[in-house]
Amino acid sequence: MSRVGTKISTIRNMKGMTQKQLAKAVGTSEKFIEEVESGKKVVNDELLKRFLRVLEQDVNELERYENQEEEVDKKDPKAVKKVVSQEVQKIWNDAFESMLKTIPIYDYTLSKVISTRQLPVTINKIEGYPKDKVMFIEIQDNDMIGFRMIKGDTAFAHQTNEIESNSICLVEYSGQRLIRQLKRLDGERVLLIGNDGRLATETVHAKDIKVLARLDRLEIKL
C-alpha cells in the first residue's frame, strides 16, 4: 500500500465515508478507490486534487509529501528521515484539525465558556449544520423541567434567528435570556411555553423576542 493511498484511506475512514461515497464524490468507481488505497493504482495530479477537495485537505501539503516520498530512494534515508517525519506530523495535525472541531459549552449569555467538547466535522458541517454555527448550552435553571430539561443538563444547539413553531430555543425577552418552546400563532404573535412543573404560557409580539439559538438535542446529566 502506498503512503498516499494509506493517507486517503485513513482520512476517508475518519470522516466516516465509505469507498462508495468517496467514489461518487470524486467521480470514479468504488473499485478504483479500493485500488488507489491498496496501492494498485496511482492517481494523476488532477484526480489527486479532486480527492483532496472532497477530503478537505490542502493540495500542496499532500503533493509535497508525495514528492518527498518519491525522493527518499534518491537520497540518504537518514538525511531525509527527519524532514519526512516532520511533514507527516504536520499532515496528521492538519487532518485532525479538519476532522474534529472544539465546540464551546456556553451559559445563557453565550459569552462565558464553561467547558468544551470535540465533535467530528463531515463535509464542513457538524451534525448537518455549518461548523461555525454550532455550540453547546448548559441549562441554567429548571424552567423547562416539564420538558425533561434540568439544571446542569447540556443541549447541543445551532445559531438561528428564525422563529420556528414547536422549536425549543434560547430567546431574549424583556431583558432576560430564557429557554422556551415557541409556537407561532400568526404573523405577529408568538406563544412562549415554559414548564417548571406547571405549564406556563405567554403571548408576545414577534418583534419583542429575539431567537438566539435552537436546541437540537439534550444530553442529560447523570
Q: How far apart are the first and last CA of the chain?
A: 46
Q: Which residue has the higher pLDDT, 206 or 81?
A: 206
The CATH code for residues 3-100 is: 1.10.260.40
Is 80 exceeded by the pLDDT of residue 86? no
Lowest mean pLDDT among 27-31, 143-147, 193-197, 205-209: 27-31
Among residues of the chain, what percentage have pLDDT more than 70? 79
CATH class of 102-219: mainly beta
Do the domains 3-100 and 102-219 sit in the same CATH topology, yes or no? Answer: no
Report pLDDT for 164: 95
Report the range of poorest mean pLDDT among 44-58, 62-76, 82-96, 177-191.
Answer: 62-76
Reading phi first (left if > 0) and then psi (alpha if -120 to 50, else beta), residue 105 is in beta
Q: What is the pLDDT at residue 69?
A: 47
Give the angle 162-165-169 at the CA atoms, nearest 5°: 60
Contact by Cβ (8 Å): 11, 95 = yes
Which residues pair with residue 204 across a beta bridge? 190
SS3 125: strand
8 Å CB contact between 134 and 160: no
pLDDT single digits (tens) 27-69: 888 998 888 888 888 777 777 777 777 877 654 445 454 554 4
pLDDT of residue 159 exceeding 90, the answer is yes
Averaged pLDDT for residues 187-203: 95
For the record, the C-alpha cell of 198 comes out as 406547571
SS3 202: strand
| Domain-wise residue ranges, the chain | 3-100, 102-219
Residues paired with 32 in a beta bridge: none
Please tell me whether the overall predicted TM-score, pTM, comes out greater than 0.75 for this model: no
Q: What is the mean pLDDT of residues 78-85?
A: 51
Under the banding of pLDDT at 50, 70 and 90, the label for residue 117 is very high
What was the pLDDT predicted at 182?
Answer: 97
